[in-house]
Amino acid sequence: MTFEQSELQRLVEVIIDLLQRYWHDPGAIEVIQSELDKLYRKIPIYAGIQANCLSQVVVPIPTNQLQEGEEVSILLKDDAIVVGKVSKVTPSEVKLVECKQFERPRSCAEVTLPIQNIREVRLLARDVLKREWPSLDFKA
């Protein structure tokens, strides 16, 4: 194979890049997922256009360029995230409405969880290629 015969690879690369940059930002991830879903439903055949559009879904912007009504996700200096709609911007503050706040992810060495507090346990698998297709598990 010489050239890419579709833009699918570029789309996958854009998705990987977005996930790497925004994995800790539930606000951004929600918009990325919903836009990707919409793009795929509307133009499933045009992976290149999906990749172009998707890379414009989350864009860093200086606070002085924010406009009222825009939907933003703001990363604070303590790594907490606030998602909401801009209602007012002054040189000293940004006011958001319809907000959701997310704590910053914390590492901990050990934790004990009472069973009655657990709603669902999700098993995480790494190196699935090695498990499912060992002959294709090449050195990256």
Partner 1 sequence: MPKLRLKRGDILRLEGLLSLQVEEGRVLISGGLYEKGSKISIPKAKSLPLEAEEDAVVDYSLGEGGHIEHLSERTIPPEWDALIRDIVDKRPRLVMVMGNVDVGKTFFTTYVANTLLRHGIRAAAVDGDVGQADIGPPSTVGVGLFERPVGLLYEIPMLSAYFVGSMSPSGHMLEFIVGMARMVERGLREAEMVIVNTPGWIFGGPARSLQLHLVELLRPDIVVALQQDKELEHLLACIPQTNVRRIPTSKSVRPRSRDERAFLRELLLGRYFNNAGRMVLDLRRVRLERCYYRTGQPIDQRSLGIREPILHAEKLPEGLLVVVKRALSQDAIRELKKRFEQVKVIEAGSERYLLVGLVDKTNELLGLGIIERIDYSRERMTVITPVRDRDRIWAVQIGSMKVKPSGKEVGVLRPGSF
Interface with partner 1 (CB under 8 A), residue total 14
Instruction: For residue 114, state whether it binds partner 1 (rule: CB under 8 A).
Output: no
Instruction: For residue 80, state whether it binds partner 1 (rule: CB under 8 A).
Output: no
Q: Which residues pair with 82 in a beta bridge?
A: 74, 101
DSSP the chain: --S-SSSHHHHHHHHHHHHHHHTT-HHHHHHHHHHHHHHHHH-TT-HHHHHHHHTTSS----GGG--TT-EEEEE-TTS-EEEEEEEEE-SS-EEEEEEEEEPPP---S-----GGG-S--------HHHHH-GGG----
Candidates 3, 106, 121, 140; binder of partner 1 (CB under 8 A) is 3
Please report how close the Cβ of residue 3 comes to partner 1 at its closest, in angstroms.
4
Instruction: For residue 56, state whether it binds partner 1 (rule: CB under 8 A).
Output: no
- Closest to partner 1 by CB, 41 or 77: 41
Instruction: For residue 132, state whether it binds partner 1 (rule: CB under 8 A).
Output: no
Binding-site string for partner 1 from residue 26 to residue 55, where x marks contact by CB under 8 A and - marks none: --------------xxxxxxx-x-------
- Residues forming contacts to partner 1 in the complex (CB under 8 A) are 2-7, 40-46, 48
